[in-house]
Amino acid sequence: MRSAGNGPVDVSHPENRGSKFIAEISSNHNQDLGRSLELVEAAAECGFDAVKFQLFEIEKLFAPEILAASSVHRDRKKWELPRDFIPAIAEKTKSFGMEFSCTPFDLQALDFVSEFVDFTKIASYELLWSDLIRSAGETGKPVILSTGMANMKEVEAATSVLRSSGCADITVLHCVSEYPAQIENCNLAAIATLRDLLGEKVGWSDHSSNKAVVLAAALRWQSDAIEVHFDLDGHGEEFGPGHCWLPGDISEVISIVRESALAEGSGTKMPSEPETAEREWRADPSDGLRPLLAKRLSAQHSS
């Protein structure tokens, strides 16, 4: 978040627009390139700063014994993003002035997406996998870590791996891996804990789809970045559980955050320009009556 300075705020600069908002498309693309590009356009219209997809193959995501035993996990094959979609999605995203990212869930996926992404995201479930985290840091791109399910020791360890890899731009997102996350479980105060203990940029990866939660994360807890799961129309593969946002709802939240950035000002306590004339109409300390004596005399002379 922008710190108070001495001058007007230029909200055309990303650092002055409040939290950086990331649209997590997840698997709501439904393996349809046209729908993927529509999601990107909708994200731009909502005011997002970045769009993020996911690249995984279930055979590299789950152990063989899990796939053998669970049809639910085998069915996630239809959640995979076709690799050949990524160049077109990245180009479309950047044409709107947004950043593009695609979460890699294995080392080969990381190698593939690194050419296209503006930053790399490590998902909560991969937070313990140091090889993936280290390799992400070694790309030289900014890295965002989600920390759902993690304790502070695990978060510190992952962050340490990133630093040792040479990563110079780290963001750590507090997250609750509940779908949807109930408001009483969100523990947004942990955002401040992460900031104080790590000294890195911090934020919130949302699974609540609750306006109050996201606004609090942005305004009360001053998140540098906020990631929300985003769907176009309620027909995405991951919309059902209730943790995804639709365009109308999230655009309202982003608009409030942007307007709040306009209200921040320089931080210097002084009269605003419109207040200058009104200063003369304050009560005079000699008798407690309005306006100041000088203003009264001026009015007498002009009558």
* pLDDT tens for each residue of 187-204: 999 999 999 999 999 999
CA pair distance 292, 23, nearest whole angstrom: 54
Q: Is the pLDDT of residue 52 over 60?
A: yes
Q: Is the pLDDT assigned to residue 15 strictly greater than 70?
A: no
With beta carbons less than 8 A apart as the criterion, state whether 188 and 213 touch.
yes
Report whether pLDDT(275) > 60.
yes
Do 119 and 144 form a contact (C-beta atoms < 8 A)? yes
Question: Tokens for 159?
Answer: 């962050």
Which pLDDT score, from 0 to 100, does residue 17 have? Answer: 75
Q: What's the whole-number mean pLDDT along residues 129-139?
A: 98
13 pLDDT more than 90: no
Give me the phi and psi of 173, to 5 degrees please: -105, 125
CA distance 294 to 297: 5
Average pLDDT over residues 2-16: 45
- pLDDT exceeds cutoff 90 at 20: yes
Predicted confidence band at 130 (pLDDT cuts at 50, 70, 90)? Answer: very high
Average pLDDT, the chain: 94
Are the C-beta atoms of 226 and 207 separated by less than 8 Å?
A: no
CA distance 244 to 180: 8
Question: Is 183's pLDDT higher than 70?
Answer: yes
Backbone angles phi, psi at 158, to 5 degrees: -65, -40
Stretch 225-236: mean pLDDT: 98
pLDDT of 2 over the 60 cut: no
Query: What is the average per-residue pLDDT within 26-40?
Result: 98
Integer Cα distance of 52 and 93 in angstroms: 9
Bridge partners for 122 per DSSP: 145
| pLDDT tops 80 at residue 11 | no
Instruction: Say what the pLDDT of residue 101 is.
Output: 98
The pLDDT value recorded for residue 72 is 96
Whole-prediction pTM value? 0.91
Q: What CA–CA distance (Å, rounded) separates 135 from 110? A: 8
pLDDT at 9 over 80: no
- CA–CA dist 41, 237 (Å, integer): 19
Structure tokens at 83: 């690799």
Name the CA dihedral angle for 282, 286, 288, 289, rounded to a multiple of 10 degrees: -70
Amino acid identity of residue 151, one-letter, is: N
DSSP class per residue in 36-88? HHHHHHHHHHHT-SEEEEEE--HHHHS-HHHHHH-HHHHGGGGGPPPGGGHHH
Q: Which of the residue ranges 5-9, 160-164, 171-175 would you say has the lowest mean pLDDT?
A: 5-9
Domains along the chain with CATH numbers: 17-264 (3.20.20.70), 278-302 (no CATH)
Give the per-residue pLDDT at 6.
37
